[in-house]
Amino acid sequence: MPDQQTGGGGDLGTNRFRDSGSSRSVLTGGAVTGSIIVTGDNNAVTKITLPAPETVDMRAELEALRLILKRLETTRASDIEKVLNAAQIESAKLQPDRNKVCEHLTQVLTYASGAAGFGYLVEKLVPPVRSAAAWLGSNWYDILRFVGLSP
């Protein structure tokens, strides 16, 4: 039977995790890094799939990002453009440094996500960001968080 003070089966030494009578609390017994934890009513978790990296035209995906992000009204517009140009130049090389491309892309998405109206563009950003994540590789899947996805 669950402990009334912790909501779980053990004594945590304090009552700071007191069960409030709702089932909305999450108590873990260890690290949950890389896990998906969903609370609430009628939630669904959708697993996303990424395209095969060799099918992605990174230059085209960066251009798609450029066209979408031009809609933002932000004081960082010139910064976004400059960093996108750097990503485009690096991705066009015979042996592109994917780490540099992703650093640029992360910077672009960081600038953009701080702009008013970014939330309205997220749906349009999903396809090019998904493709970019596939091209960049699993070390860089973190960029998916900008559009509300995780691998």
Same domain for 121 and 63? yes
Q: How confident is the model at residue 40 (pLDDT cuts 50, 70, 90)?
A: low
pLDDT at residue number 27: 65
Same domain for 75 and 131? yes
- Using one digit for the tens of pLDDT, what is the confidence trace for 2-18? 444 444 444 444 444 44
- Using one digit for the tens of pLDDT, what is the confidence trace for 68-104? 999 999 999 999 999 999 999 999 999 999 999 999 9
Same domain for 76 and 99? yes
Query: d(Cα 111, Cα 75) in Å, to the nearest integer?
Result: 9
Of the candidate ranges 23-27, 91-95, 103-107, 111-115, the one whose mean pLDDT is the lowest:
23-27
Query: d(Cα 57, Cα 53) in Å, to the nearest integer?
Result: 9
Q: Is 46 exposed, middle or buried (0-12, 13-18, 19+ CB in 10 A)?
A: exposed
Q: How many CB atoms lie within 10 A of CB 150?
A: 12
Query: d(Cα 85, Cα 91) in Å, to the nearest integer?
Result: 10
- Residues of the domain holding 135: 53-147
**Share above pLDDT 70 across residues of the chain, in percent, rounded to a whole number:** 68
Same domain for 65 and 136? yes
Same domain for 62 and 32? no
Query: d(Cα 64, Cα 125) in Å, to the nearest integer?
Result: 8
The total number of structural domains that make up the chain: 2
